[in-house]
A and B are shown apart, each in its own frame.
Chain A
Amino acid sequence: MLAIIVSAGMDPEIWGGMITLASVAVFSLGLVLVLVAGSEL
């Protein structure tokens, strides 16, 4: 959900790979929280 929010509205022609970078940054944050909290995946 965070990955969608932070990367929504970024024009690929302007932002290029930054859209992926923004998605990746928050997706990793979510998974870090999941794994550090000891949840099953």
Chain B
Amino acid sequence: MALIPLAALGDRASLAGLSRNLGLVLIGNLLGALFVAYVLAVKTGVVTKPVDLARLGEIATTKALTETDLQVFLRAIGCNWLVCLAVWMALGAEDIAGNVLAIVFPITAFVAMGFDHVVANMFFLPAAIFAGVPGIGWGDVLGNWALAFSGNLVGAGIFVGGFYWYLYARSEPEPARPGDAPPASEAAVAAPDREHAPVG
């Protein structure tokens, strides 16, 4: 959500390509999350023991019912800002250890603060429904996903992709400093082509 908007801002990716990428990534993540929630979490009985179910219900109820729409949207902005910061820093790492160090701290911050990530919620909320947590319906889930996705997109596309494009990737001619060589066009005027210059 940060890297492709960054490429689009730099005219290296089209809006259609950006939409296609986001759509495919979301669908892939949704299918994976539903598979893990239904098959690996609920059908295997991993989260259906009373204590696990109570914890899952606590998390899912907070995300789907307790938080207001505005809270979900704002938490999603903060969340993907941190997640994309982790990705951005990991891009600068030269080895696996650097990658891990770059990722751990922003992710720790976003989870500790209870921020909302649409892909994480694609697991928590359906898992709660599949496990029979009362009070949560698919309408609540879809509403949460829509708000979380919008907030994540703003957090990644504007606060990471947009800002870093503005700071580092925007193409702008540098202002001339005293003592710099003149631009090529001015140099050509100052020193005409001797080969084609009129003789005599």
Contact residues of A with B, CB < 8 Å?
A: 1, 3-5, 7-9, 20-21, 23-25, 27-28, 31-32, 35-36, 40-41
Interface of B is mostly: helix
User: A41 to B25, alpha carbons, bound, how many Å?
Assistant: 7
Contact residues of B with A, CB < 8 Å?
A: 25, 28-29, 36, 40-41, 46-47, 49, 51-52, 54-56, 59, 83, 86-87, 90, 96, 99-100, 103-104, 107-108, 111-112, 119, 123, 127
Chain B contacts for A27, CB-based, 8 A: 107, 111
Interface of A is mostly: helix
Question: Are A8 and B51 closer than 8 Å at their CB atoms?
Answer: yes
Question: Are B111 and A28 closer than 8 Å at their CB atoms?
Answer: yes
Chain B contacts for A25, CB-based, 8 A: 108
Question: Are B119 and A41 closer than 8 Å at their CB atoms?
Answer: yes
Question: Are A24 and B112 closer than 8 Å at their CB atoms?
Answer: yes
Question: Are A36 and B111 closer than 8 Å at their CB atoms?
Answer: no
User: A4 to B57, alpha carbons, bound, how many Å?
Assistant: 10
Question: Are B51 and A1 closer than 8 Å at their CB atoms?
Answer: no
Q: How far is the CB of A15 from chain B (nearest CB, A)?
A: 12
Find the B residue at minimum CB distance from A5: B52
User: A25 to B105, alpha carbons, bound, how many Å?
Assistant: 10
Question: Contacts A4-B59, A41-B29 known; A24 to B108 CB distance under 8 Å?
Answer: yes
Question: Are A31 and B29 closer than 8 Å at their CB atoms?
Answer: no
Question: Are A1 and B111 closer than 8 Å at their CB atoms?
Answer: no
User: A36 to B87, alpha carbons, bound, how many Å?
Assistant: 10
Which of B40, B47, B49, B96 makes the CB contact (< 8 A) with A36? B96
Chain B contacts for A31, CB-based, 8 A: 83, 86, 103, 107
Question: Are A35 and B99 closer than 8 Å at their CB atoms?
Answer: yes
Question: Contacts A24-B112, A36-B99, A40-B25 known; A9 to B107 CB distance under 8 Å?
Answer: no
Question: Are B103 and A8 closer than 8 Å at their CB atoms?
Answer: no
Q: How far is the CB of A3 from chain B (nearest CB, A)?
A: 8
Q: How far is the CB of B123 from chain A (nearest CB, A)?
A: 7
User: A11 to B157, alpha carbons, bound, how many Å?
Assistant: 39
Find the B residue at minimum CB distance from A6: B55
- Most chain B CB atoms below 10 A, which of A4, A20, A28, A36: A4
